[in-house]
Amino acid sequence: MSTNSTLKVIAVLQAKKGKVNALRQVLTALIEPSRREPGCIQYLLLNSPDRSSDFVFFEEWQSRQDLDEHMVSAHFKKAVNALDGLIAAAPEIRRYKTIDPC
């Protein structure tokens, strides 16, 4: 499948004051099981060198269905439940498709 037809996701999370390490643990636990999921092309967790409380997931999925299945997986649900008390605001999740210049 062409990377132009894949679904890209950017999810931004900000840790509450004093909760950076706890949030980092929850988020890093998502990486390996998510990468093993069918349809996962890329699953990266980024952390700002300037603001340690800022985390960003960059994901790429073969299809919307693959992403939907990821979001109901046991490891994803566990992480979502663990976010309570760790994040300053609701995660900002955006989905994108690549623009083909032709």
pLDDT at 1: 43
Q: How many CB atoms lie within 10 A of CB 30?
A: 20
CA atoms within 13 A on the CB side of 33: 16
User: What domains can be seen in the chain, in order of their start residue?
Assistant: 3-96 (3.30.70.100)
Average pLDDT, the chain: 94
Torsion of CA 10, 57, 59, 73, to 10 degrees: -110
Mean pLDDT in residue range 73-80: 96
pLDDT band at 3 (very low <50, low <70, confident <90, very high): low
Sign of the torsion formed by the C-alpha atoms of 44, 10, 46 and 18: negative
Distance separating alpha carbons of residues 4 and 22, to the nearest angstrom: 35
Q: What is the pTM of this model?
A: 0.89
In tens, the pLDDT along 23-44 reads: 999 999 999 999 999 999 999 9
Q: What percent of the chain has pLDDT over 70?
A: 95
pLDDT at 2: 46
Lookup: tokens for 81 = 């439940």
